[in-house]
Amino acid sequence: MNIQGKVAVVSGGASGMGLEIVRRLVSLGGKAAIFDLNATAGAAAVAELGESVVFAEVNVTSEDSIKAGIEQTMAAFGAIHICVNCAGIATGSKTLGKNGPFPLDLWNKTLAVNLTGTFNVLRLCAEQMAKNTPENADGVCGAIINTASVAAFEGQVGQAAYSASKGGIVGMTLPIARDLSTIGIRVNCIAPGLINTPMFESLPAPVYEALSSTPLFPKRLGRAAEIAHMVTSVIENDYINGECIRMDAGLRMQPK
Ligand SMILES: NC(=O)c1ccc[n+]([C@@H]2O[C@H](COP(=O)([O-])OP(=O)(O)OC[C@H]3O[C@@H](n4cnc5c(N)ncnc54)[C@H](O)[C@@H]3O)[C@@H](O)[C@H]2O)c1
C-alpha cells in the first residue's frame, strides 16, 4: 500500500511508539487520526503536525467512544485505509503474591485495554476499509497492524495478565487476516522488545537500568522511530500478511 494520501487510525497515537508512527506516516504523505485518552498530548501532536492529523478522545474499551472517533475521522478525511493499534497499559502482579491472589479487576482491565481494545478498534476500522476502492489489481483496501510484545512469548514474573493480553494479539492475527482477506485487508502484528518510551521510562530506576543492557545486539533500548520504520514497511509491503514480527535486538526475556 502506498502511504501517500492514505488515512490511518492510530490508537495510543498521543505518546511513545504511536506518536512516532503518526509522525512517520505524515512524513510519508499520509493523514492520521489519533485515538487516545490523553487529550493534552493529542492536542500537542496536532499542533506539531498540522492539518494532516486529527485527535479524537477515544477510550478503546468503549464501543461508543470508538464509533465517535471513527465518525470524526470519516468527517475529517473521508476514508480509513490503515489501522495501527498501540493503545496499551503495562500492569503487573503475581498470580499469588504477598497481598493475596492477582486482583481480578486488574486482570480484566489489562485484557479490556490491550486485547479487547485492539480488536474493538480494528473491527470498526475494517468496516470502513471495506468501502475503499481497491488501490490496485490485487484489490488492496486496507492494512491493520497491532502491537503485541515479547511478553507474549516470554512473560516475566508478575506478567500473567499483560502476557495473556499480548499473546491474544499474536493469536488473533492469523484468523483476522483470514477473515478480512476477501476484502483486501492485511493483518499483522509487531512484538517489540524493550523500547524507550514513556511507558518504559515509568519503570523503577533499578529495573530500567537492569533491563536496558539485556538486548543481544545492539546493546541498548529500541527507539520508537525503529518501530515506526517497521510499521510503515509492513504497510508498504503487500506480501506481508498474517505475521507477527519480533523487534527486540535478539532479546529473550528472563523470568525476572
Ligand atoms: N515500551 C516498550 O518497551 C514496549 C514493549 C513491548 C510492547 N509495548 C506495547 O507498545 C504499545 C505502545 O506502548 P508505548 O511504550 O508507546 O506506551 P505509551 O504509554 O507511551 O503510550 C500508550 C498510549 O496508549 C494510551 N492509552 C492507554 N489506555 C488507553 C485507552 N483505554 N484508550 C485509548 N488510549 C489509551 C495512553 O494514553 C498512551 O498515549 C503498548 O501496547 C505497549 O504494551 C511497549
* pLDDT above 90 for 28: yes
Residue-wise pLDDT for 66-91, tens only, equals 999 999 999 999 999 999 999 999 99
Is 210 domain-assigned?
no
Q: What is the pLDDT of residue 203?
A: 81
Q: What share of the chain has pLDDT > 70, as a percent?
A: 100
**149 within ligand 1 shell (Cβ under 6 A):** yes
Give nearest CA residue, ligand 1 atom 2. 195
Q: How many CB atoms lie within 10 A of CB 176?
A: 23
**How far away, in angstroms, is 136 Cα from ligand 1 center?**
33
Is 209 domain-assigned?
no
Is 26 domain-assigned?
yes
**How far away, in angstroms, is 110 Cα from ligand 1 center?**
12
Is 100 domain-assigned?
yes
Non-local CB neighbours of 198 within 8 Å, separated by 6+ positions = 15, 16
Is 76 domain-assigned?
yes
Is 202 domain-assigned?
no
**198 within ligand 1 shell (Cβ under 6 A):** yes
Length of the chain: 256
Q: What is the pLDDT of residue 208?
A: 84
Between CA 10 and CA 62 the distance in angstroms is 16
Q: 3-state DSSP call for residue 33? A: strand
**CA 194 to ligand 1: nearest atom:** 3
Q: What share of the chain has pLDDT > 90, as a percent?
A: 94
From the number of C-beta atoms within 10 Å of its C-beta (0-12, 13-18, 19+), residue 256 rates as: exposed
**66 within ligand 1 shell (Cβ under 6 A):** no
Residue-wise pLDDT for 183-199, tens only, equals 999 999 999 999 999 98
Give nearest CA residue, ligand 1 atom 40. 88
List the Cα angle 112/118/124 in 5-degree steps.
115
**CA 112 to ligand 1: nearest atom:** 31
Is 208 domain-assigned?
no
Domain count, the chain: 1
Non-local CB neighbours of 224 within 8 Å, separated by 6+ positions = 16, 17, 19, 20, 195, 196, 197
pTM of the model: 0.98
**Burial 50-77, CB ≥16 within 10 A → b, else e:** eebbbbbbbbbbeeebbeebbebbeeeb
CATH number of the domain where residue 29 is located: 3.40.50.720
* pLDDT above 90 for 252: yes
**38 within ligand 1 shell (Cβ under 6 A):** yes
The pLDDT confidence band at residue 204, using thresholds 50, 70 and 90, is confident
Q: What is the pLDDT of residue 199?
A: 85
- Asked if residue 204 has a cis previous peptide bond (ω within 30° of 0), the answer is no
Is 213 domain-assigned?
no
- Domain containing 151: what range? 7-194+224-247
